Amino acid sequence: MTKAERIDDLLAPHLAGRADALAMIDADETPITWNQYGAMIDQMEAALRDHGLEAGGRLLAVAENAVVLPVAIFAASRIGAWIIPVNARMSGAELARIEAHSDPDLVLYTSGISVEAGKHADDAAATPEALLAGQVHFRTLQSSLPKGEQDIAVILYTTGTTGDPKGVMLTHGNLIYAAEASVGLRKLVAEDRVYGALPLTHVFGLASMLMASTLVGATIQLAARFTPKALYEALEGGVTVLPAVPQMHALLMAFAAEHGHSTLQNKSLRYVSSGAAPLDPTWKRKAEAFYGIALQNGYGMTETTAGVSGTQHPIGHPDISVGPPLPETLVRLDETVGSEAGVGEVQVKGPQVMKGYFRAPDLTAAAITEDGYMRTGDLGRIDEEGRLHIVGRSKELIIRGGFNVYPPEVEAALNDHPQVVQSAVIGRTVEGNEEVLAFVQVGPTADVTPDDLTAFVKTTLSAYKRPNRIILTDVLPATATGKILKHRLLDHFAAELAQVEA
């Protein structure tokens, strides 16, 4: 097989040899064969060219998960253009900031599947167009920037706390490597059905789900939005591979418990992964008992095209690391950033490291060392087996009474409580010190109190690690992937904190 040079090359063997096989199940449950998928991409490519998109140009796609988005991604690749997929659920102000920074030649709104995309299209007076992949809107712009280098496939804008948007430039090579690495970890084959609730506007969904599935020709079952009910039904209906984040697992298990199910009955499920947060042994055992198969962990970020390391353990294996580095990947620790022996900032070098930040050479230079290592900002350690353990974000480290408190450790202790769905722990500066604040999501029928949780963690956490305050809630602010937005917690729960302090 000829080595793929561009992401659209991944399509070729399936379009040529598997025309009647199932490529995708759309978010509205419509089955789509490879032949139909190819026709959609052909038509989208023609439409993008008709609207003036050229090689090196930039296409901003305001979208939610539906076949029209991967169709646009691969059509843009054929043209040699860059695509900038953004979540349609962004506010108008957030979208405007990204549009101003990316300065696209063309904007595509997936208005047929997304109410929010339709609203953005209406606000922008975009032009409607009916395509095989679904109803869309287009808006042609006059970019002031020169055409870009054609090795770039995608710009992904990362979730930031403040300041200007930060666009991560990922090359075709980055994405193809990520696809190959994900296939290797999961032993993915054409007969698999992969559940696709992870947004394609984020790196996990784009690289580890879409690109990996396309490489081998596996079927993707798309979901426009994550709900535990839809995921439960999909798992009962034949899904074989579930890439997810911890919050999705937690909400799924809570949903099942509310409906009287302690285990999943799907016998076709063979692979489940968890990324974006550390595991703790109790939670891992609980998840494996629910799924009936091993829970695999991994680590990555947008700037490393989702993947740095991953596990391949049998069920019941006690390891809670994020595994050894992926092939061709080097990982080292900068212990000058950490504050205890054996812990340092994780730095990564390999084919998955981004080209840089769009229109931000100073940020790129600060993020990538002279010898090509990406500074992740995550604190980690490497055990005697060569496995990487993530202990927290360097900026989220809490120093209380001179002692280091790593939020993931406190969260793991809280999450072990049977009535806790998930938790988020942050530090807050007080006079001469930092205090530990915990925001804990519980199920609708829970009767646990903050005092109950304080007593619960006494057996697992030293006194200086225990939360000063615990706020209970039925939902935590999160991104579309389920990643908790820790930088919003203080503002979001300001009233509750004030009541506690009063």
Distance CA 185, CA 4 (A): 19
Cβ atoms 98, 165 nearer than 8 A: yes
Phi, psi of 42 (to 5 degrees): -60, -50
Q: Examine domains 7-172 and 226-394 and report if their fold is the same.
A: yes
- Tokens representing 33 are 């064969």
Q: Tens digit of pLDDT per residue, the chain (502 long)?
A: 568 999 999 999 999 999 999 999 999 999 999 999 999 999 999 999 999 999 999 999 999 999 999 999 999 999 999 999 999 988 898 899 999 999 999 999 999 999 999 999 999 999 999 999 999 999 999 899 999 998 999 999 985 434 467 999 999 999 999 999 999 999 999 999 999 998 899 899 999 999 999 999 999 999 998 889 999 999 988 999 999 877 788 889 889 988 888 888 778 999 999 876 666 777 788 889 999 999 999 999 899 999 999 999 999 998 889 999 999 999 999 988 766 788 999 999 999 999 999 999 999 999 999 999 999 988 899 999 999 998 877 677 787 765 667 787 788 889 889 888 888 898 887 766 788 999 999 988 888 999 999 999 988 887 878 999 999 999 898 876 667 888 788 889 988 888 755 4
Residue type, 270: R
- C-alpha count within 13 angstroms, C-beta hemisphere, residue 300: 33
Residue 194: name the closest of 250, 261, 268, 134 by CA. Answer: 268
Distance CA 304, CA 177 (A): 11
- C-alpha count within 13 angstroms, C-beta hemisphere, residue 402: 0
Residue 347: name the closest of 377, 305, 321 by CA. Answer: 377
Give the DSSP letter of residue 478: B
* Cross-sheet strand order for the sheet of 193-196: 31-33, 22-25, 219-222, 193-196, 241-244, 271-274, 295-299, 309-310
Architecture of domain 397-501: 2-Layer Sandwich (3.30)
Residue 408 has what pLDDT? 79
Residue 215: name the closest of 40, 13, 52, 457 by CA. Answer: 13
Q: What are the sequence ranges of the domains in the chain?
A: 7-172, 226-394, 397-501
Which ranges constitute the DSSP H helices of 64-114?
68-79, 92-102
Distance CA 116, CA 365 (A): 36
Q: How far is C-alpha 1 from the chain's CA centre?
A: 30
- Burial (Cβ within 10 Å: 0-12, 13-18, ≥19) of residue 429: exposed
Domain 7-172 = CATH 3.30.930.20: no
Domain 226-394 = CATH 3.30.420.40: no
Residue 162 has what pLDDT? 41
Phi, psi of 147 (to 5 degrees): -65, 145
Strand 420-430 vs strand 356-357: parallel, antiparallel, or unpaired? unpaired
**Residues 6 or more apart whose Cβ sits within 8 Å of residue 16:** none
